[in-house]
Structure 1
Amino acid sequence: MRALQKTLIFIFLIAAQFVVAQSGKIVVSKEQAIKKGIYSPPSTENAIASIETPKPEKEKKQSIKPKQKKDKNNILVTKNDDDIIILNENDSYIAEQLIYNASYNLGIKYRSGGTTREGFDCSGLMYSTFKKFDITLPRSSYEMALIGRKVEPSEYKKGDLIFFRTFGGSRISHVGMITEVNGDEVKFIHSSTQLGVIVSSLKEPYYLRTFAQVNRVLE
């Protein structure tokens, strides 16, 4: 029994010496590691170099292709939504374009001597509208009535100029452009002193009473 106790005591002493001997090598903090020479902080350059900077992705070029429509038979449709469609073979494309451009000014106020969207007088509206298509009209309604040729009611067409004597007498004092001929009704766009750019009908009593003539400047 005593021999066993002596053996255990001997083993315990040996183990304690081993722990003491080894305890000098245990590192419990960064400061101790630096003192023992087994640790050195990384340099700033190395730290920065070790970080991989992500390369920017190349921008993908987007090719914009016009939208293409196909009909039920898979045939490409070339018509655009803003195309002007000629429904009557007697109507001219240029006349439709003139009406389209003049109509863009609907609601613009009347302005004596005006030829812009800041305001139009009657001849100013016609002058600026035709000028967009390199057709230079005289500046006054009276002079406009002297160009082209007079046409009879059966010949009235879109794009014809329609004239009025709004001051009485024989002198032309107002002009518009025919936008629609529907049977015996004629509609025209013009700039009125009261309402600005509007579409009126020749059936209206005032315009029927002051009507003078219709001239064709587009043949």
Structure 2
Amino acid sequence: MRHYLFIISILLLFTACKPTSSIITSKDVAVKKGIYTQPVASKTTTVKSKKSQKEYTNRQTAEASSPKKTPLINDQNESDIIIDNEDSNYLISQLIHTASDNLGVTYRGGGTTKDGFDCSGLMYSTFKKFDITLPRSSHQMAEVGKPVDVQEAKKGDLIFFINRGQRRINHVGMIVEVNGDDIKFIHSSTQSGVIISSLKESYYDRTFKQINRVIQ
């Protein structure tokens, strides 16, 4: 009996984040297929080294009396990203860019780094780069933001699934492309790691649960 229960538990574990096929497995392929376009480098986005952090501190002091908006900073990460432009579309493009940098990284339960990601770990680390702290599990993430109809889905929205054998949400990805009724999303699957898949795939069509908008 114990042996039987052990086998069932293993099978249930691997249904979480399980894909039926991989659409996009690398950034190069994503670019060629037009799914992903790398944002053009501009003065509004920089990676903060020790030198640039000092320069920023000096600039912030000098501009303290200026009406100019203070850049958003995440002081919790080693490689912080400064965003002067607070437009949501710009932020969404940067979130997609950051997540897409991990295409091809392997799946790792509990992982939040390039050593390996699980599905919620990929979303957590991507949003954390921009000082947006999401809950750590997919079913908790599903309680954040505003639920939207599939017809209203946009890039940057979180998309959730309930995989076979489960009773609650246990998989999450981020929408990177909406073309009519074809919705593509980046996620980390147990079999293929970080990939871009389509909601038109039969597996994801069957297990789809909801879409939440975190960035308004």
TM-score band w.r.t. shorter chain = 0.5 to 0.7
Aligned counterparts, 1:170-189, within 5 A: 170-189=167-186
Distance in 2 of aligned mates of 1:163 and 1:172: 7
Q: Is the 8 A contact 2:88 2:215 kept in 1?
A: no
* Greater RCO structure (CA 8 Å; 6+ sep): 2
Distance in 1 of aligned mates of 2:179 and 2:193: 24
1:154 paired to 2:151: yes
Please point out which of 116, 131, 136 is paired with 2:133.
136
Letter in 1 for 2:208: F
Please point out which of 161, 178, 197 is paired with 1:164.
161
Calculate percent identity across the aligned residue pairs: 66
Q: Is the 8 A contact 1:168 1:210 kept in 2?
A: no
Please point out which of 92, 95, 104 is paired with 2:92.
95
Letter in 1 for 2:146: R
Distance in 2 of aligned mates of 1:100 and 1:81: 11
Q: How far does residue 167 in structure 1 lie from its aligned partner after superposition?
A: 3.4
Q: Is the 8 A contact 2:154 2:175 kept in 1?
A: yes
Unaligned runs of 5+ in 1: 1-79, 85-89
1:112 paired to 2:109: yes
1:196 paired to 2:168: no
Q: Is the 8 A contact 1:102 1:189 kept in 2?
A: yes
Q: Is the 8 A contact 2:151 2:181 kept in 1?
A: no
Residue matched to 2:6: none
Distance in 1 of aligned mates of 2:167 and 2:214: 21
Q: After TM superposition, what 4+ stretches of structure 1 lie above 6 angstroms from structure 2?
A: none
Deviations 1:90-118 (A, max 9, x none): 97111111000000000000000000000
Larger Rg computed on CA atoms? 1
TM-score when scaled to structure 1? 0.59
Q: Is the 8 A contact 1:160 1:217 kept in 2?
A: yes
User: Secondary structure of the equivalent of 1:112?
Assistant: coil
Unaligned runs of 5+ in 2: 1-38, 45-86
